[in-house]
Structure formats: structure tokens, C-alpha cells
Structure 1
Amino acid sequence: MAGDINPMEQFEVGHLVDLKLFGYDVSFTNSALFMVVVFVLLAGFMAGGMKRQLIPGRWQAAAEGAVSFIDSMVNVNIGSGGKKFAPYIFSLFFFILFANLVGILPLAILPGLHTFAVTSHITVTAVLAFFSFGIVLLVGFWKHGLKFFSLFVPHGAPWPLLIVIVPVELISFLVRPFSLGLRLFVAMTAGHILLEVFGSFAVQGLNAGFDGSPVGFLVWFCSFAMIIGVSALELLVCAIQAYVFALLTSLYLHDAVHLH
């Protein structure tokens, strides 16, 4: 029906290039395109910042600051033995950050262009979460063997209470990848839906105002103010969600490396 608001349309994955490989659909989609865009931007950011000048420029200073930020996160939250995980935490944090920021670029003001937020898809956030969780399990069993299961037995807990504590600790551990992926997915999806809804209200209110309804201009003004507020909040959420994802991953790695 003409004029209907469909805030979920922006999340639809569309084929840009149809491809089949051994009977499987491996088409190049808009989601894949924006992942490539994120990779190119991140690679360009690091390539431009790795000039190794004695007196660093702004770009090099930004890149060095980014590396120092992740190095500090790893040292504080993983501790000894955590240095080897710094490249992964760095890649995780900045991929999510760049993907979040690219997803809110106002490209829709140009004809035929529309951004796609890859982190608003549960498939993407779930892969990141389960990959991180897989690394935690691999590190834990590689370093401690079966002793890794002692992670579910709090030190000093009374033996009778272990019947309850161990299952609770195990369940909370297994829930980690789900909460990690869902948190990012929900936060990004909710923000984009709000922007779409208020954007539609603003357009419809403006059209109603030009058609002679004074209330239409009021609706447009309120909706436009909300768009500005939500956009500012989205910028903050983009950074916070990337930080939380990387922080929790480093904390889970701390458990795998040091147990209790």
C-alpha cells in the first residue's frame, strides 16, 4: 500500500551479483559489499597511519593511539600472556566500530544510495560472538586441559552448594556467546528502526504542512529534532557497543588464560 512505513526494509539483504558455486548460492550481496567497504576503510586507516615518522602527523598519531588503546585494554583485562591476543581484539573492536559508523552514514540523501548496517544482522554478530567464544574454549583447553572445567567451581565454595553452583556457572558460561551477539544486534537494529520511523514522520509531516495543515509542520519539527537526538545517541552507541564487545571478549580470554 502506497505510503506505508516499513522500517525493516533497510535490513533486507539483496543480491548485487548472482553467483552459484557447486550448487550453492554464493551471490555477492549488499551486506558483503559493506563488509568490503569496512575492510577497505580500516586497511586504509592503518596503512595511512603506519608511516613511522619520528614526529608523527595526525593520521599516524590516531593510528598509534588506536593501537595503544587496545594494548591498554589487553594488559588491564587479560594480564600476563594476553599480548598475543591484541591483534584479534584490535581487529574485532575496529571492525565493529567502522561497521557501526558506516551503517549510519546519511548516504540516502543521494539518489540511488543507501547504507547497510552489517552489525544489525544477527548472522554477522553471531559469527563474531561464536568465533570469539571458540577462541576462548580453544585457549582454555589448550592451556589447562581438563582443568579448564575448574572455571565452573568457585574457589572456596562449600561442597554441598556445588550441586547448585556448578550448573549455574556452566549455564552462565554457555550463554556468553548468545548475549554477546544479541547485545550488538539489538542495539544497532533498534537505533536504525527509530531513525527510519522518525524520518518517515518528518517527511509525511512536511508534506502535510505544505498541503495546508499547520500541525504537519509541528510534526516535522518534532520528528526532525528526534532524528538529531537519536543520531547523536547512535554515534555514542556505535562506539560503546564496539568497546563492550571487545572488553567482554578480553575478559572471557582472561578466564581462559588464568582461570580463577
Structure 2
Amino acid sequence: MDQFVVKRWFCHDDPATPLINECTQNIHWYDITNVTVWMAVAVLVITLLMVVGSRGRAVIPTRLQSVGEVIYGFIHKMVEDVAGHDGVKYFPFVMTLFLFILFSNLLGLLPKSFTPTSHVAVTVTLALIVFLFVTLLGLARKGIGFLGMFWVSSAPLALRPVLAVIEIISYFVRPVSHSIRLAGNLMAGHAVMKVFAGFASMAVISPVAIGAVSAIYGLELLVAVVQAYVFTILTCVYLKDAVGDAHH
């Protein structure tokens, strides 16, 4: 589908071949694409909300300041409840992840926009950042003791090596499940909307198709928020492994 195609921003499409043309071929890392543009837009919106909107710090907050304070309090409480008191010092990292994913998801629902988080390349990068951050933090704080999380001491001795292998595999699979969950849900929702929108041109079923698209769009708004929340709370769970005491 053309809505998932990465293309150069400063390039004109050929209407005859919208999916295969010079705009989509031989894209280099330094090219400005629709992905980078909409990620930049997400960063700009976050800056306007959290920096410009809260700049006054009024006792009676403005609407923007109220939204920023609600998000701040919600994520801060999540980090404290899930990762514990020691995890609160890494709140800025978690907050940044949540805001970036949330606004990337929401902006992708605008007409003619692009959803960066519907691409596995973007979500894998985010998941790998979380994975490497948590792993390096755990090794820095606990040293070799961090590896103790893979040894289930409460299990029978004969089962411990088997469980250790399972724990190691599940640990290194985290970036895969973490990233595919986000990209898959967003891509599926956009694809379904695209399919139903295609039926809207058919006079016989257009009212049903338009109603279905409207309902799915409302569902996608919810999915955009929920998936940002799920990615963030899983990050907090992983962070707890690095800063909390292991319980087996």
C-alpha cells in the first residue's frame, strides 16, 4: 500500500507507477524522507506542548500546560509504581519514549500524513535503544550479579539450567516482541481503514463503508494511545530488572 511506502520528501511521484519510481528507489541514510519529516513534526509538537506550552508555569494552568502536567504526572506515577523508587531517576528517558511514540501514532491519523511507528525499522530502533540501555544499566549497577536474573534459584536444581536457557532466549527476544507489537498493530489498523475506504467509492455500499471507516478511525485513536502506553510500561518492566532486586 502506498501509505506505507518510504519516499523522498522533495520528489514528485509518477501517477502511473506510484509504488515504484525514482522517489522510492536508492534511498540513502542522509535523504529527507516522509519518515524523517513526520518524526521531526512529532518532535516539534512535543516541544510546543512540553516546552512552549508549559513555559509560563502559571498557578492556574492553560489548556496546554494542563495537558502537559497530566501526561507528566501519569508517566511519573507509572515509572514509580512499576520500576520502583530507583527507577524514577530514569523518568526523562521513559517520558521521552512515550511522548515520541504517542505523537507519532496520533499524527499518523491525519490525512496525507505518514506513521513512522508503522515501520518495523523505526520500532526496532526504539526497542534496541531500550534493550541496550537496560542491559548496560544493569551491568553497570550490578556487575556480574545482573546475570543472576537468568538463574531461577527457587526452581529444582535439575531444572535450573533448562530454565536459564529459556530465560536467556526470552531476554534476547524482547526487542523483537517489543517492536513488532507496536508496528503490527498500527500497520493493521491503517490497512483496514484503507480497505474500507476503497469501498466508499461504490454507491451501493458507500454508506456502510463510510460508517465502518469512521468506527475504525475512532478505534485507531484508542490504539494509538494504548500502544504508546504498552510500549512504555514494558520499558518500565524491563527497567525494573536493571535497577530492582531480582526475585526468583
TM-based fold match above 0.5: yes
Residue identity opposite 2:104 in structure 1: A
2:189 to 177, 182, 191: 191
| Structure 2: runs of 5 or more not aligned | 12-27
User: Which structure shows the bigger proportion of residues in helix conformation?
Assistant: 1
Q: Distance in 1 between matches of 2:180 and 2:29?
A: 26
Greater Cα radius of gyration, structure 1 or 2: 1
Corresponding position: 1:80 with 2:85: yes
The secondary structure found in structure 1 opposite 2:167 is helix
1:256 to 231, 242, 246: 242
Shift of 1:77: 0.5
Residue identity (%): 38
What's the CA shift string for 1:106-126, capped at 9, x where partnerless? x2xxxxxx1101011000000
Tell whether the 8 Å contact from 2:105 to 2:115 is kept in structure 1 after alignment.
yes
Q: Distance in 2 between matches of 1:55 and 1:220?
A: 47
Tell whether the 8 Å contact from 1:49 to 1:62 is kept in structure 2 after alignment.
no
Number of aligned residue pairs: 229
Q: Distance in 2 between matches of 1:76 and 1:25?
A: 39
Partner of 1:65: 70
Shift of 1:154: 2.1
Partner of 1:12: 5
Tell whether the 8 Å contact from 1:102 to 1:115 is kept in structure 2 after alignment.
yes
Equivalent positions of 1:169-180 (< 5 A) are 169-180=167-178
Q: Distance in 1 between matches of 2:48 and 2:222?
A: 23
**Superposition TM-score, scaled by structure 1 size:** 0.85
Shift of 1:183: 0.2
Tell whether the 8 Å contact from 1:129 to 1:181 is kept in structure 2 after alignment.
yes
Corresponding position: 1:41 with 2:45: yes
Tell whether the 8 Å contact from 2:82 to 2:237 is kept in structure 1 after alignment.
yes
Q: Runs in 1 of length 4+ with deviation above 4 angstroms?
A: none
Tell whether the 8 Å contact from 1:100 to 1:119 is kept in structure 2 after alignment.
yes
Q: Distance in 1 between matches of 2:105 and 2:243?
A: 30
1:32 to 16, 33, 36: 36
| Structure 1: runs of 5 or more not aligned | 1-7, 19-23, 108-113, 207-215
Shift of 1:79: 0.5
**Superposition TM-score, scaled by structure 2 size:** 0.89
